[in-house]
């Protein structure tokens, strides 16, 4: 028999459809910058299942993507194939995560994101703002 728990400190209410839509459109987050100054972008968290369903993740990358998303990926920098697949997955996630500017706008401007920025975007895609804590310096 399950028992519902009731929070006494904060009254919970159903999120309105307007707030639901607003949250789905992403949030402004701080990423590591190219210099000592951070950059601020709008990101959203894409759905891995949605990307697979839409065919945006090629079958050849499904195993590597699953390893990354589950945290089981042991990175072997000497494995050229693994590093190439990792790069493809990180680029794919960046393409799906950036709202403003879009990842295409960044690429069209001739800007190449740093490895640290790509990993920060990936971490955000998995854990939200909590995933960015390791990139912040005090």
Residue 137: pLDDT over 60: no
Instruction: Choose between 70 and 127: higher pLDDT.
Output: 127
pLDDT given at position 98? 95
pLDDT given at position 89? 81
How far, in Å, CA of 7 to CA of 77, rounded? 48
**Residues 7-55: tens digit of each pLDDT:** 556 788 999 999 989 888 899 999 999 988 999 999 999 887 787 778 7
Cβ count within 10 A of residue 30: 14
Q: Find, among 110, 53, 106, 73, the residue nearest to 118 by Cα.
A: 106
**Residues 90-122: tens digit of each pLDDT:** 888 899 899 999 999 999 999 999 988 998 998
Q: What pLDDT band is residue 74 in, cutting at 50, 70 and 90?
A: low
Residue 131: pLDDT over 60: no
Q: What pLDDT band is residue 138 in, cutting at 50, 70 and 90?
A: very low
């Amino acid at each position: 028999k399950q028992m519902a728990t009731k929070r006494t400190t904060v009254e919970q209410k159903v999120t309105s459809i307007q707030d639901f839509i607003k949250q789905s459109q992403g949030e402004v987050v701080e990423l590591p910058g190219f210099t000592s100054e951070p950059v601020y972008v709008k990101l959203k968290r894409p759905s891995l299942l949605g990307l697979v369903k839409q065919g945006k993740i090629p079958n050849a990358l499904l195993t590597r993507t699953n390893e990354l998303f589950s945290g089981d990926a042991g990175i072997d920098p000497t494995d050229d194939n693994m590093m190439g697949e990792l790069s493809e997955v990180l680029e794919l996630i960046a393409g799906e995560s950036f709202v403003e500017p879009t990842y295409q706008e960044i690429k069209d401007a001739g800007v190449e994101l740093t490895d640290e920025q790509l990993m920060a975007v990936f971490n955000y895609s998995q854990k939200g703002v909590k995933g960015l804590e390791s990139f912040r310096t005090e």
